[in-house]
Every structure is written in C-alpha cells, then in structure tokens.
Chain A
Amino acid sequence: MRLRAWDLTMERGGRRLFSRLGFEAEAGSALIVVGPNGAGKSSLLRGLCGFLPFASGGFALDGGDGERSLGEQAHYLGHADALKGALTAGENLAFWAGALGGDARREAAQAALARVGLAHVIDFPARALSAGQKRRVALARLLVARRPLWLLDEPTTALDVAAQSSFAGVMQAFMDDGGIVVAATHAPLGLKGARELRIGAVEGVA
C-alpha cells in the first residue's frame, strides 16, 4: 500500500498556502509534516480527508479500497478530541468502534485504553478527564477500528513525556503492521525511519 500525492495546491481565504506539493509514503512508513504556524499543515491533512478542496493536484491510496475515498480509509485526529463529555470514556470508544465498523464490545474499548495507559478511567465521564487524558482517549479511538492510514494533527498536544513515548510505541506498532502515518507536528514524535515534509514560507515550494 502506498499513499501518493502530486501537484497539491491549496488556497484559503484568498491566500496561497502551498503549491505543487507532492509526496509519497509506503506502507510501514511515516511522514512528518513540519512548518511554521499558518503554513498549511492542518489544511493539508483536512484536504486529504476531503474536508477542504485542493485548487490543483490529486492524491491516491494505491492498494487501498477503490470504492472509498481516502478519508474513509483513514483515521483523522484533529485538534478536537471528538469526545462527548456526558459519556464515559468507554462509551465514547464503544460508540466510535460501532460507528466506524470496529469491535464495539466493552473489552475492545478496555484494551484500547490499556494501550494508552488509561484502563482505569473507562467508567469516568469524559468531561472529568484532564486535557492530556482526553487526548489519550482520542488516541485510543485510532485503535478500536482498523484503518490503514492515520492522519494526525498535533497528536501529542497536552501529553506528558511518558505518554508521548508510549504513543510513539503505539504508532511504531501500527507502522510495523503495515500502516501509514502522516502527522503534522512541531514536537519530534520519536519514530524510526520517519521522513520529513517541510512546507511553509521558508522554502516556498516544498
């Protein structure tokens, strides 16, 4: 499986964010999107998900499911955690598992939470969790339904050092399993063999 993008140009609010951007990522690899604030990292990820239109270019997941868009084959983790404060962490995960076609049983949610080190909060309402814990529950969502591509926007925001390195392990395991990670970040993620895609005003064209 391979993620390919070519000739991508995006404009937001009359301003050109990047133009003629191209990249490839093989199964089992990671692509780290770096660049200054406002360079268009988040817009690039949202464009790949299909939420924003590109002015030119295209992208494809070779070896993926031809009947689904790239966004439907990817897990998108944005700035918001997609958690409902009124529901418990376990209910949130069980819902996403059911809605995304994964394993909606409580044991699956429990296992996913255990991998981000939060097995004990399964019955806590999400609003009672700290910002870092909410982020880790949101990361656990990536684990309750299998999708071959992860599009992560600042995945380690609010995570402490231990949680960052444990999430690096989760991503590495996903890549070893043939997954592709595309992450926009300012902090190094600690992934082996990750390539960097630099966008922004400094280089002009990446």
Chain B
Amino acid sequence: MRTAPPAAMCAKFWLFGATPLPSLPHKGGGCELVRIAVVSVTPVLALFAREWRIARRIGGGASVGAVFFLILVSIMPFAIGPDMNLLARLGPAILWIAALLATLLGLDRLFQADQDDGSLDVMIDGPLPLELVTLVKCAAHWTTSALPLIVVSPVFGLMLGMAPAPLGLVVATLAAGTPALTMIGAIGAALTVSLRRGGLLMAVLVLPLTIPVLIFGVAAASAASGGAAPFLTPFLMLCAISLFAIAAAPFAAAAALRHVRE
C-alpha cells in the first residue's frame, strides 16, 4: 500500500526532485534554490524534447494535422458551392470546426502510445508527478500539432474569401481556444488509454465537452470578421475556458490514468 504522509506528497508535487533532495526545513541560500530549480526542470525539458522529436519524425503525426486542416478547408467550397459571400460568412465557423477536428486527430495516441510500449509505467514512477507529465505532453502536442495549424490559418481564411484585415483576430481566437481543445482531449485520451480502438470513443466523449469552446470561438471569430456582436466578450470567455482547462485538466487526466490502469 502506498501511504505517503501528506507533507511528502506536497514536497513531491512542488519539487519533483530528480536526485534525493534534502528535506526542506533547513533553509538553503540562493544557490540551493537555484540547484533545486535546475534539478526540477531537467525531467520536464527531457520529456518535452522527446515528445517534440517523436512528433517531428516520420509517422509522428505533427504535420498530418495541418494537412488534414488544409483538406477540410479546401473541400468546403465543393460542398457549399462557389458563392464567395456565403463562404466568407461561414469562414470563421469552417476554420473553427476544421481546427477542432484536426486538434483531436492524433490526440487519442497521446497516452496510448506510452501505455503500449511500457513508457507510461516508467514515467509514473519517475520523479515528475503524473499531473505534470500530462501537462508537458499536452504542451508538446499543442506546439507540434495546433501551433502549425494556427500559423497557416490566415492563408486558409483567404482561400475561403474572408477579408484580410480581421484575419489576425481570427488567428487570435484560434490561439486562445485550441489549448482548451487539447486539454479537454487529453482527459478523453486518458480515459480511453487501455482500449484498443479508443479513438472513436474518445471523440464521442470529448466533442460534447468542446461545445462551449466552439460557441465562444466562432462568436469571437465572426465578430472579428464583421458581425454586429462585440469581439471582446466572447474572446475573454474563450481565454477563461482555456486557462481553466490548463489548470484543471491535468488533474482530471492523471486521475483517469491512475484509475483506468488498475
């Protein structure tokens, strides 16, 4: 039975020291704090660098998201027809739905790949708390799959006939909203970690939870491209949802991982 005293749990969470750190009571000087900071950051950087490397190698799936985004956006005119005004009006919604689907693409493997090859076992007993592992993996996933998509989205906006001027604001809504999508998706990925074909179930679990993000995202993006509604209110709500998701989702995902694996 794992019975660590609460103080020890706190120490682990805040310091997640890689080498046996001396217990805190004796106050170290500035040097000691710097040493603790360096020792604590090394595992985080190692994990981030590894995720980044894997995503960028062949089969990693980082570029697939952007290509998927491109394909979704470019088949829309075929479905809707060559009405430029209609396309321009639907543009923000199309960009957002494409971003939502592209972000979820590949998220189902976020933990499953590590579960299958045994890495997750080693990470759970590593110096980093599982919550932080989750957060770092999400950060790496966001920078490798959502960030490229945000960068190319103005070009896709032009393809949809949107006016060039407000595209910057539309990009801002995507940048503010996609972290929430990644974090919510991570909870679904954690819940389905031990299922062989968990990808579809994950989408079914996660998509309803992303509705608020979609509502405020599209509202802000539409307002930016010339609606009557104000831009700032939905945009700030979007930021709030993302911040809340970043703060809460790692705990939910880590709890799901611990529970599901037993």
- Asked, given contacts A50-B2, A67-B11, whether A101 binds B127 with beta carbons under 8 Å apart, the answer is yes
How many CB-defined contacts (below 8 Å) exist between A and B? 108
Residues 96-121 of A at the B interface (beta carbon under 8 Å): 96-101, 104
Q: Are B8 and A98 in contact, CB atoms less than 8 angstroms apart?
A: no
- A49 lies within 8 A of chain B by Cβ: yes
Q: Which residues of A contact B39 (CB under 8 A)?
A: 101
Q: Which of B101-109, B111-119, B145-153, B241-249 contacts A (4 or more CB under 8 A)?
A: B111-119
- B232 lies within 8 A of chain A by Cβ: no
**Interface size (B, Cβ < 8 Å)?**
40
Question: What CA separation (Å) do A4 and B53 show in the bound complex?
Answer: 41
Q: Which of A18-26, A30-38, A84-92, A171-179 contacts B (4 or more CB under 8 A)?
A: A84-92
Q: Which residues of A contact B46 (CB under 8 A)?
A: 94-95, 97-99, 104
Of the candidates A52, A80, A86, which one forms a contact with B59 in the assembled complex, judged by CB atoms under 8 Å apart? A86
Q: Which residues of A contact B60 (CB under 8 A)?
A: 86
Q: Which residues of A contact B1 (CB under 8 A)?
A: 53-54, 57-59
Q: Are B126 and A51 in contact, CB atoms less than 8 angstroms apart?
A: no
Grouping DSSP codes into helix (H, G, I), strand (E, B) and loop, the A interface class, with mixed when no group exceeds half, is: loop
Question: What CA separation (Å) do A7 and B23 show in the bound complex?
Answer: 31
- A65 lies within 8 A of chain B by Cβ: yes
Q: Which residues of B contact A52 (CB under 8 A)?
A: 262
Q: Are B121 and A49 in contact, CB atoms less than 8 angstroms apart?
A: yes
**Interface size (A, Cβ < 8 Å)?**
39
Q: Are B119 and A82 in contact, CB atoms less than 8 angstroms apart?
A: yes
Question: What CA separation (Å) do A93 and B122 show in the bound complex?
Answer: 13
**Leading 8 A-B pairs by shortest Cβ distance:** A101-B18, A98-B46, A80-B118, A71-B125, A86-B57, A82-B118, A67-B8, A95-B50
Please report A residues at the B interface, Cβ cutoff 8 Å.
49-54, 57-59, 65-72, 74, 76, 78-84, 86-87, 91, 94-101, 104, 141
